[in-house]
Amino acid sequence: KNQVEQSPQSLIILEGKNCTLQCNYTVSPFSNLRWYKQDTGRGPVSLTIMTFSENTKSNGRYTATLDADTKQSSLHITASQLSDSASYICVVSARLGGSQGNLIFGKGTKLSVKP
């Protein structure tokens, strides 16, 4: 069964600190993996999209890694800011081409950054 598991469920860190969020998946055939940031009460916003051949991708202070062999991804946030407080959702695409119905969503990690 195609699944995406994220850990931890929630995380509290102090402003300025780094953190790493994890995503493990059992999705086949794999097409791409995405990380989204969702502020409370808002729609998700794309941070990165990684294909099979990409190991690392950065977007400002956000760096995503992908290990297709172990089917793991991580999202590293550097020098956290209060505005990083949000839910981070890992999404894996189960097929190349096709429809959005092939996307498998994780339940997200809720990050709280405290001053």
Q: Which residues bind another protein (CB under 8 A)?
A: 31-32, 34, 36, 41-46, 49, 89, 93, 95-103, 105-108
Our CB check for another protein shows the closer of 70 and 100 to be: 100
* Minimum distance from residue 105 beta carbon to another protein (Å): 4
Closest of 85, 92, 90, 91 to residue 110, by C-alpha: 85
Helix, coil or strand: residue 102: helix
Helix, coil or strand: residue 42: coil
**Between vectors from CA 84 to CA 78 and to CA 89, what angle results, nearest 5°?**
95
* Minimum distance from residue 38 beta carbon to another protein (Å): 8
Our CB check for another protein shows the closer of 16 and 29 to be: 29
* Minimum distance from residue 16 beta carbon to another protein (Å): 29
Task: Give the bridge partners for 92, in sequence order.
Answer: 33, 104
Q: Amino acid letter at 69?
A: D
Our CB check for another protein shows the closer of 13 and 94 to be: 94
